[in-house]
Amino acid sequence: MNKVMSNKWFITLYLLPALLLLTVLIFIPLLLTGYYGLMSWDGIGAMSFIGLDNYINVVQDATFWQSAGHSFLLALFSTLSLLLYLAVSLILASKIKGANVFRKVYLIPMLLSSVAIAQLWIKIYNPSNGMLNTMLGWIGVENPPLWLADPSIVLYSIFIPILWQYAGFYILIYYAALKGIPETIIEAAKIDGASPLQIALRIKLPLIMGVIKVTIVLAVVGSLKYFDLIFVMTGGGPNGASEVMASYMYKLAFGSYNFGYGSAVGFALLVITLIVTYIVRRLTANKEDIQY
């Protein structure tokens, strides 16, 4: 039996397609990104080796750091919005009828493509007849902002649809975690006279802390590599006011054919994402995870 189940030919044959795709299309390109970063290259012509120049330029590139700053601001907003999602999930999980329907309805935006969401929100933000400014007009706002054209607010205008898009996803995760708490623990607290608020803050939240930490990592990492919606809604503009790391990289490579420098920025994006993931994981490491 064991002999059949350790047939080397069979193992190799069945592993090969997946392993080949993983290596050739995910791992090798990653290494190549680092390598291309050492080159001066327009993507089509010959490469010439220029050492660490591109990487040194990235470190000194004010535009790169500005877009990195925008990415980090998005990470901060996404993390803070988790509080809101958590509050909704606490209400949703408190044994009420229809919770299932609500949590599914909340999920709908996440199923749509970022491109469709971006186009939809461009229309919502439209200054003359978009949904938002029409509503503001009803309550008497005379000069509503130009949501996507004003450099001082464009970044926040873009954050809103991103938070909208992912709300259902996080609510779903929190809801599942809260539903996993054994009923007996809540009952015991009720008998001891704990108020619903106390139960939520002192019992439920600590019990799902592991899941909360995971969602923080997801929100931060997801924000650092965020691209689609921003690319479609503003293309990083006006004047770089909504540029993020990934959109800057894209613009360098496929907008101005600076593949060498674009690769260096892509590699910086990878390094920053990995370092921040590591730090966030360390900060939220489970020293004493609660078992129940």
Query: Would you say 241 or 258 has its CB closer to other proteins?
Result: 258
CA distance 231 to 236: 6
Query: Would you say 82 or 224 has its CB closer to other proteins?
Result: 224
Supply the minimum distance, in Å, between the C-beta of residue 241 and other proteins.
20
SS3 state at 181: coil
Residue 111 phi, psi (nearest 5)? -80, -15
Query: Would you say 10 or 152 has its CB closer to other proteins?
Result: 10
Which own/partner pairs from 216-219 qualify as long-range (CB within 8 Å, at least 24 positions apart)?
216/79, 216/82, 216/280, 216/284, 217/277, 217/280, 217/281, 217/284, 219/75, 219/78, 219/79, 219/81, 219/82, 219/166, 219/170
Q: Would you state the structure tokens that stand for residue 132, as one six-digit string?
A: 């938002």
Supply the minimum distance, in Å, between the C-beta of residue 125 and other proteins.
11
Secondary element (H or E) of residue 179: helix 154-179
CA distance 2 to 232: 55
Query: Would you say 199 or 218 has its CB closer to other proteins?
Result: 218
Supply the minimum distance, in Å, between the C-beta of residue 271 and other proteins.
9
Supply the minimum distance, in Å, between the C-beta of residue 172 and other proteins.
6
CA distance 233 to 31: 31
Query: Would you say 123 or 202 has its CB closer to other proteins?
Result: 123
Supply the minimum distance, in Å, between the C-beta of residue 17 and other proteins.
4
